[in-house]
Amino acid sequence: MTKVQDAFVLAWKRQREIQGFFNKHGLERVVVPPPSVSDEEFKIRWGKIQKLFFRPATKDLSYEDFMKALGQGNHWTVVDKEERVKIVWEPCEQGYWFWADVQCKSPRLRNFWNKMIQELKLNLFCLEEYVIVFYMSKVISGVEIDVSTCTWLRNVQPRECRGALTAGGCNGDIRVYDSSFTPPSFSIFRLGGRVAEVVK
């Protein structure tokens, strides 16, 4: 191996893990490119309890198809047309790698959604990113996040304008809540916020 190759060993290993995840679930059409991330950055991020994930372009893999491949085809975010139109979906034109908080319990507990979004300007997970992190963490690492906590998502509901979505784990699968009953400024002890950071 050259010195350049030596510097990206962990990135290439992660690429193989993510590609293997898609292949295992019958999604071989998704081609995962290697991330341009050095081993040094990997180690720094690991110290912050962050891991690297890949989100395919929507044209290559829609949210609905991803959920169906994971046995979640009957989830309300897939089948409930009336509720789906209330969600601000975030399709992406190009696939991207992103760093994500992967603590078992959601970080930033008891923080207001408004504060995290507006004041701290944190890039909370969107729903599409959350399902990727949730299922990849479970399958690749054997870790299920948010069993005892929930996480605010940045997806809001334009027709309601009363809340944002929250998500967590339940019996090995994902749960997504319409939190229009909970004002975004409201904070409860087991609700926090995970941050996603796109790799440049």
Tokens linked to 159: 């027709």
Share of the chain above pLDDT 70, in %: 88
- Report residue 161's pLDDT band, with 50, 70 and 90 as the boundaries: very low
Phi, psi of 133 (to 5 degrees): -65, -45
Higher-pLDDT residue of 177, 30? 30
Secondary structure tally for the chain: helices H, strands E: 8, 7
- For every residue of 43-81, DSSP letters joined together read HHHHHTTEEEEEE--TTTS-HHHHHHHTT-TTSHHHH-H
Question: What does the pLDDT look like over 73-118, one tens digit per residue?
Answer: 999 999 999 889 888 899 999 999 999 999 999 999 988 888 898 8
Higher-pLDDT residue of 50, 156? 50
- The C-alpha angle with vertex 89 and arms to 16 and 114, in degrees rounded to 5, equals 105
CB burial string 139-168: b at 16+ within 10 A, e below? ebeeebbbeebbbbbbbbbeeeeebbbbbb
- Considering only 41-55, 69-83, 95-109, 159-173, which range has the smallest mean pLDDT? 159-173
